[in-house]
Amino acid sequence: MLREAASNILQFHNFLKSGVDVRISDYPLMGEPVKMTCILIGYVILAVYTGPRLMAGRKPMRLNTAMIIYNLSMVLLNAFIVYEFLMSGWATTFTWRCDLIDTSTTPQGLRMVRVAWLFYISKFIELMDTAFFVLRKKQSQITFLHVFHHSFMPWTWWWGITGTPGGGMGSFHAMVNSAVHVIMYFYYGLSAAGPRFQKFLWWKKYMTAIQLTQFVLVSVHISQYYFMEKCDYQNRLWIALIWMYGVFFFILFSNFWLQAYIKGKRLPVSEDKPKQNGSTSEPITVVANGKHVENGNGHHYTNGKLLLGKVKEI
């Protein structure tokens, strides 16, 4: 029984490996799904169970310098990803309608393969967002939604780009998401730099609007597929998944916008939850009343000054 089960699992594993596009099969974490799945399972365990317990008897770490370097590095990485997507087709040969997967080995086709993989890898780097929360003992930020998105997004992207690394219309959402991450991580970098930079963060309230615009663009663009008379895109399941992502996160952020800006509600710092994907950072205004308090970036305010607590998004 066990031998037969093991044989079936091995056959299924080999079947998955055989379906990986040969142009991307030798890239790290791409040849088969086991390694990347184990990494993401380990991430979930560390984020939810092991990490918080290891930090339980320790003081929260102040990681401002590391956070500044990390956030600004992510700005540069995502800006490069956007540029590569543009040069791989979106600013050169694509029609922005029924753009099919490029299965060739031309320089442009291989360039799209490389940037699709780089976007995929960037989602593993973004797991550092959670690591900073754990080390700074901001466990209230690590919600089910946060962990689900950070683990499920790279997992689904493996299945998407192993069969569609040539991009086409299915890569539009990745380019838009990376563009939003440029803005998001730039905001986080300034926020982590200290209170002297708070005056440059006046545009924080527009972050949610940027997110809503992202999801509208992604949903409208991918919805074209269902209204075209003929579009032989090679991976219909990938199209459906992208559409579901766009609609789900639009609903999520619309609710946040309603609660934060229409009804004017603000959650207490201890109850504030991170929103989803590529997201916004909504500071909470709290009066310190002369007490020594710490904001979301690890900065301290006293003597009744205002505390701007950063809500980190995923």
Quickly list DSSP for 30-81.
TS-SHHHHHHHHHHHHIIIIIHHHHHTTSPPP--HHHHHHHHHHHHHHHHHH
- 6-10, 25-29, 270-274: least confidently modelled range: 270-274
- Looking at residue 229, its pLDDT comes to 86
- The Cα 77–Cα 92 span in angstroms is 21
Smallest CA-to-CA distance from 167 within 134, 120, 227, 230 is with: 120
Cβ proximity of 278 and 214 under 8 Å = yes
Mean predicted confidence (pLDDT) in 57-70: 94
* Model pLDDT, residue 163: 80
Exposed/middle/buried for 152, CB within 10 Å: 0-12, 13-18, 19+? middle
Place of tokens 């365990």: 45
Higher pLDDT, 10 or 273: 10
Residue 56 has pLDDT above 80, yes or no: yes
**Cα(31)–Cα(264) distance, integer angstroms:** 49
Known active-site residue 299: no
- Predicted structure pTM score: 0.79
Q: What DSSP line would sit under 227-278, residue for residue?
A: T-S----S-HHHHHHHHHHHHHHHHHHHHHHIIIIIS-----GGG-----SS
| Predicted pLDDT of residue 299 | 40
The full DSSP string for 168-224 is GGGGHHHHHHHHHHHHHHHHHHHHHT-GGGGGG-GGGGGHHHHHHHHHHHHHHHHHG
Exposed e or buried b per residue across 256-295, where buried means at least 16 C-beta atoms within 10 angstroms of its C-beta: bbeebeeeeeeeebeebebbbbbbbbbbbebebeeeebbb
pLDDT of residue 292: 37
**289-298: pLDDT as tens digits:** 333 333 344 4
Measured between alpha carbons, how far is 48 from 151 in angstroms, rounded to an integer?
A: 12
Burial class from Cβ neighbours inside 10 Å (0-12, 13-18, 19+) for residue 163 reads middle
pLDDT tens across 77-126, in order?
Answer: 999 999 999 999 999 999 999 999 999 999 999 999 999 999 999 999 99
- Work out the average pLDDT over 127-140: 93
User: Residue 107, CB half-sphere, CA atoms under 13 Å: how many?
Assistant: 1
pLDDT reported for residue 256:
66
Find the catalytic residue in 149, 173, 181, 221.
Answer: 149
Residue with token string 């596009």? 21
Average pLDDT over residues 184-211: 84
CB 162, CB 293: distance < 8 Å: no
pLDDT at 264: 63
Q: Which two tokens stand for residue 123?
A: 């989602």
- The least confident of 8-12, 26-30, 40-44, 47-51 is 8-12
C-alpha to C-alpha distance for 36 and 73, rounded to whole angstroms: 23
pLDDT at 252: 74
Name every residue whose Cβ is closer than 8 Å to that of residue 236 and which is 6 or more positions away in sequence.
none
Cα–Cα distance, 264 to 180 (Å, whole number): 25
For residues 274 and 255, the answer to whether their CB atoms sit within 8 Å is no
Gyration radius from the chain CA atoms: 21
Res. 50: pLDDT tops 70: yes
